[in-house]
Amino acid sequence: MKKRIHSAYKGEIYGISFFTYFANNYTDKTAHPLWLALTQVEIVTAELLEISLHKLQIPFERHDPLMIDKGIIDAKRWLTLPWKELVDSLTDWVEPYEKKYREWALEAEDHIEVFQLIADHETAIYQCWKAEQNGESGIEYLSTFIQKYT
């Protein structure tokens, strides 16, 4: 249980780095609000997970250089993909995490609210990318998550 929460937290650090890199470097500036919203979802989730990590006395590194570097490296690799290919790739990439975190929430016997947060976070991102695949804005899903958890 503690490993799962810590793993999810490290994923938030990675996500903050990944989406911040896109926000700062993606050439199509019309996508900027999307990258900012994705980054905000990661930040909100990380901050809430930090509260749980403290309570559970799980050590964590807010500025984990390995996760930050990994996020930047992956973002650089995907940065020049055409929009459709990027959206499809991100949707496919997020989908198994969404399923896994939803399963974690269903299996949780303790700290259910933490696992629900983790699952809701990934579901919001997945729904965002599914909307983008359909030619719609995914920001609404991200905004709903942010409003729920702030």
**Tell me: the pLDDT tens digits for 2-42?**
999 999 999 999 999 999 999 999 999 999 999 999 999 99
pLDDT range class, residue 140, cuts 50, 70, 90: very high
Encode pLDDT of 69-117 as tens digits: 999 999 999 999 999 999 999 999 999 999 999 999 999 999 999 999 9
Read off the pLDDT band of 150 (50, 70, 90). Answer: very high
What is residue 148's three-state secondary structure?
helix
Q: What pLDDT does 116 receive?
A: 98
Average pLDDT, the chain: 97
Query: For 58, which DSSP code?
Result: -
75-105 b/e (C-beta count within 10 Å ≥ 16 → b)? beebeeeeeeebbeebbeebeebbeebbebb
Closest CA to 52 of 100, 107, 12: 12
Domains and CATH numbers, the chain: 1-149 (1.20.1260)
